[in-house]
């Protein structure tokens, strides 16, 4: 597990220290306080040898530029300038992420430097036949590993999608499972791949049991051939069998909440000894089911040794942790709530006991 996290010059944070991370960590704070940035920092640091994690957060936020030069076809490129404090992509721009994972130090340093001869800067990374030596490159250095990785930057100071795609599935056998669930949840293909990894195992029944929090009559779930559903919604092609009904029911008919709950449950079930990161964990969920959601999540995370990082704006989501703690105090001993305040150099950490006291006294913990 990640025990602590130090963020330096990453996005809006000049410096932020996060201590006392638990198995389940919920980050709260006002809008634009940096909650999602903390999730991204954890993703990058914990991904280690997977360099595309550094730029995946830019892709998720839609931080793109469009190449419009007449001699070059229109092409989307990934604008990485917003990853750096001050939104500047120029030589010597850098950010650093440090932490302790299982009490061993880990760190990632990313910097912009003038291009040097490098095996990853050849022209095959640049599509459509144009050929030039990149002026700048993004250097990613992971400690304790010695060999850095370099992404070549185009003339726009951005990363061409072709270069990004070539590294998207780079993964060493030692890499731990890590899933980042966006606010809009995972798409159908992503959930199908997660389902395939747990199909016909004990975890399949555990996922169905979790879905029964929202629809107690669900008996089975199936992912149909993706070919017919490629251009439709993220829930297309996912069906459930409900007791008492003869026909199968499209998952989308049961609302966005159950799709979000499915994404969380699948991610947890396939991430044994790994990590799950969820932005806006309460998306689509009514306050009446929030304590059941937390109970199922914490039990699964503990059983499979998964560390969870999540955000919320919901007071009900916070209070539901207090309800779970009152009901099962031992279950929540590794739960932490972190409040993020703009301008503060550390997060404010609350234990389950303090969350319960605050709920009893109607104290606002979200900032």
Q: Supply 341's token pair.
A: 């305040």
pLDDT at 41 (0 to 100): 97
Indicate the DSSP class of residue 289. Answer: G
CA distance 225 to 60: 26
pLDDT at 131 (0 to 100): 47
pLDDT at 120 (0 to 100): 45
Residue spans of alpha helices (H) in the chain: 35-47, 52-60, 161-167, 188-198, 202-211, 256-269, 290-304, 315-327, 352-360
Give every residue of the chain whose pLDDT is below 50, as ranges: 70-71, 118-124, 126, 129-132, 229-231, 233
pLDDT at 237 (0 to 100): 84
Give Rg (Cα) of the chain: 22
How far from 106 is each of 10, 44, 48, 166, 267, CA to CA, in Å?
16, 11, 9, 25, 24
Question: pTM of the predicted model, to two decimals?
Answer: 0.89
- Pairing of β 13-18 and β 307-311: unpaired
pLDDT at 235 (0 to 100): 55
Give, to the nearest 10 degrees, the angle between helix 290-304 and helix 256-269. 20
pLDDT at 226 (0 to 100): 58
Query: Where are any strands of DSSP class E within the chain?
Result: 2-10, 13-18, 24-28, 64-67, 75-78, 94-101, 104-114, 136-143, 149-152, 159-160, 178-181, 218-223, 238-242, 249-250, 275-278, 307-311, 335-339, 348-350
How far from 20 is each of 7, 173, 194, 314, 317, CA to CA, in Å?
15, 29, 30, 22, 21
CA distance 258 to 252: 8
Q: Is 209 left (phi over 0), alpha (psi -120 to 50) or beta?
A: alpha
| pLDDT single digits (tens) 319-360 | 999 999 999 999 999 999 999 998 899 999 999 999 999 998
Instruction: Give the count of alpha carbons within 13 A of 19, CB side only.
Output: 4
Q: Supply 72's token pair.
A: 């070059």
How far from 291 is each of 23, 275, 295, 349, CA to CA, in Å?
17, 21, 6, 21
pLDDT at 147 (0 to 100): 80
CA distance 194 to 207: 11
- Pairing of β 178-181 and β 275-278: parallel
Q: Decide if 274 contacts 306 (C-beta within 8 A).
A: yes
How far from 179 is each of 108, 193, 200, 234, CA to CA, in Å?
19, 12, 21, 17
CA distance 60 to 43: 13
pLDDT at 123 (0 to 100): 47
CB atoms within 10 A of CB 73: 12
pLDDT at 356 (0 to 100): 94
Nearest to 278 by CA among 308, 242, 243: 308
pLDDT at 160 (0 to 100): 82
Q: Decide if 338 contacts 26 (C-beta within 8 A).
A: yes
Q: Decide if 339 contacts 347 (C-beta within 8 A).
A: yes
Cβ-Cβ contacts under 8 Å for 362 (sequence gap 6 or more)? none
pLDDT at 211 (0 to 100): 96
The dihedral built from the CA positions of residue 298, 302, 304 and 308, taken in this order, carries a sign that is positive
Give, to the nearest 10 degrees, the angle between helix 202-211 and helix 256-269. 150
């Amino acid at each position: 597990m990640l025990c602590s996290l130090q963020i330096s010059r990453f996005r809006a944070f000049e410096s932020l220290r996060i201590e006392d991370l638990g198995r389940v960590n919920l980050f709260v704070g006002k809008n634009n306080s940096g909650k999602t940035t903390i999730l991204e920092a954890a993703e990058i640091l914990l991904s280690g040898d997977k360099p595309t994690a550094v730029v995946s957060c830019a892709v998720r936020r839609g931080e793109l530029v469009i190449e419009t030069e007449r001699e070059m076809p229109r092409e989307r490129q990934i604008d990485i300038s917003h990853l750096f404090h001050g939104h500047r992509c120029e030589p010597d721009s850098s950010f650093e992420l440090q932490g302790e994972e299982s009490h061993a130090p880990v760190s990632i340093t990313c910097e912009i430097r003038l291009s040097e001869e490098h095996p990853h800067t050849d022209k095959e990374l640049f599509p459509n036949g144009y050929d030039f030596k990149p002026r700048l490159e993004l250097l990613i250095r992971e400690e304790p590993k010695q060999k850095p990785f370099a992404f070549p930057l185009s003339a726009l100071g951005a990363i061409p999608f072709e270069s990004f795609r070539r590294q998207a599935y780079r993964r060493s056998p030692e890499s731990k499972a890590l899933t980042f669930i966006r606010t809009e949840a995972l798409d159908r293909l992503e959930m199908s791949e997660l389902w395939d990894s747990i199909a016909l195992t004990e975890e399949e029944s555990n996922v169905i049991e979790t879905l029964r929090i929202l629809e107690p009559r669900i008996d089975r779930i199936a992912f149909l051939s993706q070919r017919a559903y490629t251009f439709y919604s993220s829930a297309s092609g996912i069906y459930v069998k409900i007791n008492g009904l003869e026909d199968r029911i499209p998952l989308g008919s049961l609302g966005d909440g159950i799709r979000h709950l499915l994404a969380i449950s699948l991610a947890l079930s396939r991430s044994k000894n790994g990590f799950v990161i969820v932005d806006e964990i309460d998306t689509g969920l009514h306050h009446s089911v929030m304590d059941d959601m937390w109970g199922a999540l914490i039990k699964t995370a503990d059983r499979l040794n998964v560390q969870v990082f999540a955000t919320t704006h919901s007071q009900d989501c916070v209070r539901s942790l207090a309800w779970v703690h009152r009901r099962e105090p031992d279950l929540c001993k590794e739960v932490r709530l972190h409040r993020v305040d703009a301008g503060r150099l550390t997060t404010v950490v609350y234990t389950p006991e303090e969350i319960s006291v605050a709920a009893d006294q109607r104290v606002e913990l979200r900032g």
